[in-house]
Amino acid sequence: MADHTVTSEVVFRIRRFDPTTDADPHWEDYRFPCPPGMTVLEGLKQIKESLSPTLAWRSSCRMGVCGSCGMFINGRPRLACNTQVSELESSLITVAPLPNFNIIRDLVPDLTPMFKAHAEMQPYIIRDDTREQQQPTGEYWQSPHQLEQYLQFSYCIKCGCCMAACPTCATDPVYAGPMPLSQAHRYSSDSRDGGFAARKQVLSGERGPWRCHFAGECSRVCPKGVDPARAIQLMKRQLVVDYLKLGKQKCPASIAKVPDGVKRREGIPEAPPRTI
């Protein structure tokens, strides 16, 4: 077992591609000392500062929140900022751009098709009460149990790791993919939403969830524990129940009215003034 408390030398094998000079991608090796706790992202920054200033990648927050630095690291899609070199248990670190996306340059994938599919799923609350949404008079009622039905899926950071791991995405450019479909279910399973009928037009088509055959890889690689595979299977059940008309028609949650004749307890400050 390697000692992770001392500086050791590592080799970063990086897949390079410059569309202005290269016909095909190629591998380049960079050897440097790796101090304890160094992440793959920090390794890339070290290479750019001291070994190869032309290396290109996409990153921002450095803390697994923005979803920019998804890469194919030692054979699995991971966030570079969230992956310590020591946890890879190897002195050879291979870094490639996320597969199943076109390569713009070096480690920069073109995520446009994913975001386009995401937009097709109408990933927002859809309701008929437009006036209430523009000029709210209260909060929509939602129980803790109803919150649990979608909360897990709302943690998605759109990094694209699930799309890179999906074997269906590897061969099928029509399939929308785990991220857009799980986000469709995130909103369709929200008790405040009434947009399932609108999303169904896309979901029941050839881009929908029926091309998923539960390889489960999307859930295994998700850095936020979103579990897109679960969302997609639950969406399939929702579609079947809707098609066979087995479920009850659900109305979007109503506004939680403040009960009449209730006084605020002493010592509890008033709510801040409304901003909208």
Partner 1 sequence: MIENKGRPNRLGVKGWLGGGRWGFERYLYALHRLTGLALLAYFVLHIGVTSSRAFGENAWTSAMGAVKGPLFSVGEFLVFAAFAFHAVNGIRLALVELGFAIGQPIEPVYPYRTSVDEQRPLAIGVMILAAILAIVGGIGFLK
> Which residues of this chain interact with partner 1, rule CB under 8 A?
17, 19, 25, 74-76, 97-105, 109-110, 112-113, 116, 148-153, 155, 165, 167, 169-171, 173, 189, 213-217, 219-220, 222, 224-227, 229-231, 233-234, 236-237, 240
Nearer to partner 1, 45 or 224 (CB): 224
Nearer to partner 1, 137 or 171 (CB): 171
Nearer to partner 1, 24 or 260 (CB): 24
Q: How far is the CB of 204 from partner 1 (least distance, A)?
A: 14
Q: How far is the CB of 236 from partner 1 (least distance, A)?
A: 5
Nearer to partner 1, 26 or 31 (CB): 26
Nearer to partner 1, 213 or 263 (CB): 213
Query: What Å distances lie between residue 116 and 43, 97, 110, 255, CA to CA?
Result: 32, 20, 11, 32
Q: How far is the CB of 184 from partner 1 (least distance, A)?
A: 15
Q: Could you tell me which residues are beta bridge partners of residue 26?
A: 16
At 204, the amino acid letter reads S
Q: How far is the CB of 212 from partner 1 (least distance, A)?
A: 8
By three-state DSSP, how is residue 8 classified?
strand
By three-state DSSP, how is residue 30 classified?
strand
At 261, the amino acid letter reads G
Residues 6 or more apart whose Cβ sits within 8 Å of residue 20: none
Q: How far is the CB of 168 from partner 1 (least distance, A)?
A: 8
Nearer to partner 1, 23 or 262 (CB): 23
Nearer to partner 1, 101 or 140 (CB): 101
Q: Where are the alpha helices (DSSP H) in 135-177?
A: 144-151, 161-165, 167-171
178-181: list long-range contacts, CB under 8 Å, 24+ apart: 178/212, 178/218, 178/228, 178/229, 178/232, 179/114, 179/117, 179/118, 179/228, 180/114, 180/117, 180/118, 180/120, 180/121, 180/123, 181/121, 181/208, 181/209, 181/212, 181/228, 181/231, 181/232, 181/235
Q: How far is the CB of 117 from partner 1 (least distance, A)?
A: 11
Q: How far is the CB of 152 from partner 1 (least distance, A)?
A: 4
Q: Evaluate whether 68 touches 60 at the Cβ level (below 8 Å).
A: yes
End-to-end CA, the chain: 58
